[in-house]
Amino acid sequence: MNFLSLAQKIKDRQAVIGIIGLGYVGLPLSLRYADEKFQVLGFDIDASKIDKISKGQTYIEHIENASIAKAVASGFRATTDFTEISKVDAIIICVPTPLNKYREPDLSFVIDTVEKFIPYMRPGQIVSLESTTYPGTTDEELLPRIQSRGFKVGEDSFLVFSPEREDPGRKDYSTKTIPKVVGGYTSNCLEIGKLLYGAVIDTVVPVSSTKAAEMTKLLENIHRAVNIGLVNEMKIVCDKMGLDIHEVIDAASTKPFGFVAYKPGPGLGGHCIPIDPFYLTWKAREYGLNTRFIELAGEVNSNMPQYVMDKISYALNEREKSLKGAKVLVLGIAYKKNVDDMRESPSVMIMEHLRDKGAVIDYLDPHVPVFPKMREHKFDLKSIEMTSAKIASYDCVLVATDHDKFDYDMILNSAQVIVDARGRYRGNHAKVIKA
């Protein structure tokens, strides 16, 4: 199959879409293609996800069972069997790209995935990498592996990078309406990529290369990381001066130009913002460059969980209690409000610090009823009940993630002392320590 036949197949919605990695990125994308009447085949190494999809059940809070059941009824199917890659026309990779213990890029999930499907590739397929990574990954890691099978990329197979832009729980934008950046290895690759995503997404933004697309994603998230680092540092300065950073941000936000509000917090969470700066700083060293500005922001953000820990210790000391043996309740363990996404959550890092210091930890999170299995963190805990008596039984309550489902007035009235890392409690309260 050549360029023209694959292009026509996509235009006619006869192309079979294969999506590898059915998490917070891959599952919504699968549903989007299914909504547009494409046949979709999902791949994941987690058999429990495959089982739930087959039953029309969700495993991500903001995606409804009905959405999955509808997709399944229209032909959406998922499998752990990578030999079925030969049945699809598009291979879209949506797997994690974490950091290793040295804060260096860990591409093992991407490379393992490619090694799994490469033996079953056939002519006439497009491969798209959506996993966030450093500029050059697509050309350096995917291209030679595809070429090793004898394919001529741009002629009988096609390769693009198109960074994911999912924001779990967001109501004002969706997979369909968030513009999609696409960069191709060749001009033919780019054209196929534009067709592939243009069939299901309102706006496709083409760029000159896979590297440009990879760098675009890093810039988006480093922009946020740097600005959050700035406002986190401003929070510390305001605290020393007896000022409320949230009041200052609200006032600055009234300026109709030249200011964009970023909110401080207990640290960075999510799969992208805590990780992406390190991908670029690592790659920049290959060119003899030191990204000092980016690394400084990363240092500030990485220190925020310890800053919160110091505030907890202060709150307990003021009440003549030590951190060791203290009962501490963590409110919210997802990385941001109103979602169940635990990836890189600063709440978990604070919980580990508390555990290391001998505190007795519980958590309350209506979006995460049971502490999930995570690659690097382990707690055998379940979310407690949100009752006045329960809240009152803890020596300290930490507002780590400010879900809307919390009864903040009841918590304020019941708690012995509150450390607020999200600015939920405005003004001065005798039992609230701002962190």
Alpha-carbon distance of 29 to 40, in angstroms, equals: 10
Active site residue 272: yes
Cα 197 versus chain centre, distance: 21
Alpha-carbon distance of 267 to 382, in angstroms, equals: 23
Whose tokens are 């534009």? That residue is: 194
Question: Do the Cβ atoms of 298 and 229 come closer than 8 Å?
Answer: yes
Alpha-carbon distance of 306 to 286, in angstroms, equals: 32
Phi, psi of 420 (to 5 degrees): -105, 105
Question: Do the Cβ atoms of 353 and 374 come closer than 8 Å?
Answer: no
Alpha-carbon distance of 340 to 362, in angstroms, equals: 17
Alpha-carbon distance of 31 to 23, in angstroms, equals: 12
Question: Do the Cβ atoms of 412 and 434 come closer than 8 Å?
Answer: no
Structure-block tokens of residue 157: 């197979």
Alpha-carbon distance of 371 to 424, in angstroms, equals: 24
The DSSP symbol for 24 reads T
Residue 127 belongs to what H/E stretch?
strand 125-129
What SS3 state is found at 142? Answer: helix
**Order of strands, edge to edge, in the sheet holding 360-364?**
360-364, 327-331, 396-399, 418-420, 432-434
Residue 120, judged by CB atoms within 10 A of its CB (0-12, 13-18, 19+), counts as middle
Q: Which residues contact 316 (CB under 8 A, 6 or more apart)?
A: 322, 323, 326, 395, 396, 417
Compute how many other C-beta atoms are within 10 angstroms of the C-beta atom of residue 369: 10
CA proximity to 28, closest of 229, 239, 174: 174
Cα 256 versus chain centre, distance: 30
- Alpha carbon distance, N-terminus to C-terminus of the chain: 60
Task: Out of 94, 189, 272, 396, pick the active-site residue.
Answer: 272
List active site positions. Answer: 272
